[in-house]
Structure formats: structure tokens, C-alpha cells
Amino acid sequence: MTVFSRAWMRWTCFGALSLALAACSSAPDKPKPAALPNVNGQLAVQKAWTSNLGPVTTPLFASVHTGRVAVASTPGLVALIDGVTGQDVWRLQLNTPIQAGVGGDGQRFAVITRTNEVVAIEAGKVLWRHRLAATSYTAPLVAGGRVFVLTADRSVTALDGTTGQKLWTQQRSGDPLVLHQAGLLIPFGDTLLAGWGGRLASLNPNTGVVRWETLVGSSRGTNEVERLVDLVSGASRQGNVVCVRAFQASVTCVDASRGNTLWTRSAQGHEGVDGDEALVFGVESDSKVLAWQRQGGQPAWTQESMRFRGLSAPTVFGRSLVLGDDNGLLHFLSRQDGQVMQRMSTDGSPITGKPVLVGQNLVVVTRTGGIFAFRPE
């Protein structure tokens, strides 16, 4: 299996399994990208503001609430930034490397350090710390006065948001080989949705009791790496329908109120999906962009002109679909047919995570720590 690199997509062994992955790390050179396509000029975008945070080399994502965006750097800096002006609300130096984050509810934020500590932050100060039994690559989910954590041993843990006390833990067994990549952990009404291997599970957030589980990604291949089907961070929700990606296996839409699979399509990608009321959008590992009909999953359009550019997960932004690449470029595609409408540059280093919407602005973070906000003219 050939995988074209995006940040942090690796494999990690747990338990007693002893597996040599040297062959995986010696994949052939990445194919040379084609020349960039011309833009049609149907969208005008301007740079709104810039800031800087420090290098981002671990699975760190921006968290948006009430016009503010929380971001973090791998060396340990966490910042809450006004999405309109780009000015800091606060900055906090934790003085320890951060492995995963940021999660937040607008008031309280949380990250996970490389020493497996959940650190809760409020008003720019550390509120509490809680040591985990396993590492995590997934941003904590802060909701309902609690902090939920998905760890690499496929456990979900709930912590009291005020004290950090553990409330419950629920675990599902699975292959000891897991992705060094953010998994799926999102709210859905009064339910917690979590990815356990190739399964999507609905948990009671008060007790951890499983309400339903459904298989959305089936193992394929003959070796441990090819059988990985963990659900990855980045889902698209419209009403009761939640669409998710199983690593290098499929994109699936589920009725999350009952756990029924509505449709599934084979898809060889490793980034999450986004969508609108009509379409679901995703990126293959060779940077081919695909759109499926939300009802039924039939293919809607394909854009192949940016293959091998290391595209990020997509974000719906007005009339466009926005994707970052490994050269720090932002590509604005038409949601209707995938045509390239505009292209903007940042600092030349890879876009990390996915673009996020902060009010009328689109905010991205680069590998070297640049923070860039763009708005349509």
C-alpha cells in the first residue's frame, strides 16, 4: 500500500504485538505533482490577518467558538485568538510538548501532552492535569461540563471539567496496531460518537454505556497495516446524518439517531470529510478530490488536477470547498463542480489540520506555526 504523506500519518504498535514496519517507512518517492491549474477568478479572497505560534509537528487542530479560535504549537504554546482582528485573547506556555489538541467549549480548553497528561485551561491558566493510561492523538472533546478523551488503546474516558476527576472509561478491544493520527470523537445531541477501529459507536456521555455500534469500515488485505480501518477525525453532519471516513477503506453515511448505515463507498483516503446539504466531500491519499451525493452516495464530481500535492481535509466555505496543501497553498474549489475558483499562499510550509471557519474568516495553521486568516471580498 502506497501512502502519500500528510502530517502525522504513521502507525504505532501496542500490546504484545511485535511488528517490523521498516518496509512501510521506505515507500517509493512521492510522484511529482502536475502543474497547478488556472483559476477561473469567480471568487475574490483577501488576507485578513496573520499571526505566529511556533512549529506544529503533532496532530494539533484549531478549535472555534463564538468568534474566537484556540490553537497550539507542539513545543507547548496554547493561544486563544480573536477571529476578526487576529489579536490574542490570551497565550499560555505549558513548557511541555503537546501531543494532541485543541478541544474546547469557548470557556474551557484542553490539550494532551506527550507525557499523556490532559491539561485543562481556563482564562489562560491551567485548571487541572490528569494522567492518562495511554497516549492519545485525538483532540479532547469539551462539552457538557466534561472533557472526553479517546486514547490510542481505543478507550474513551470522561473527566469532570472542573476537577479533572475520572468519571468513567469505556474500551473496545481491537488490533494492537493503531494510527498515529487523530481519531473520531464528536458530539451528537445527547450522545457521544466515537470511532473504535472500523466501528462507529454511540455512547451515553453520563455513564459511558454503549447505545449502539455499527461497522463502517471493513478490514482488507493480508497484513496488519492493510487491515487498519480506524475512523479518522473529520465528519460531516446534516440533521441526523453523519458521514465519516474509515482509513484507506471507505466513506460512509450513518443515521446517527439509530445507528443505521445509509450508504458506503470505497475510498482510499486518510483525511476526514466535510459536506453541505447536497454533497459530501473527501480527498483521496493521492490528492484526488471527490464529491458524493449526500442522499444515496452516488458520485457527483471528481477533481484530479491537484494530485500528489498532499491535500488537507476539506472545509466548506461559502460557495467554495477549501483545501490546504504541502506547499502552503490554499485551493478554493467550486462546491458545485470542483472547478478551481481561487488560490492563496501562506508561508510555503504545509498546511496542518484543516481550514476552519471563524465568523466570516477562514483560518489555517502551517507547519512552521504561521496562522493566516482569509475572507471573501
| DSSP conformational letter for 34 | P
In this prediction, residue 31 carries a pLDDT of 87
Return d(Cα 150, Cα 129) in angstroms, integer. Answer: 16
Q: Which fold has domain 60-180?
A: Lipocalin (2.40.128)
pTM equals: 0.91
pLDDT at 20: 31
Instruction: Round to whole Å and give the CA distance between 186 and 194.
Output: 7
pLDDT in tens, 13-53: 444 333 333 334 344 577 888 789 899 989 999 999 999 99
In this prediction, residue 227 carries a pLDDT of 65
Residue 147: name the closest of 165, 135, 172, 133 by CA.
165
pLDDT (tens digit, 9 = 90+) per residue, 94-140?
999 999 999 999 999 999 999 999 999 999 999 999 999 999 999 99
Is the CB of residue 357 less than 8 Å from the CB of residue 64?
yes
pLDDT at 222: 61
Q: Which residues of the chain have pLDDT under 70?
A: 1-28, 174-176, 219-227
Domain assignments of the chain as residue spans, ordered by start: 60-180
SS3 of the chain: helix, strand, coil, percent, to 5: 0, 50, 50
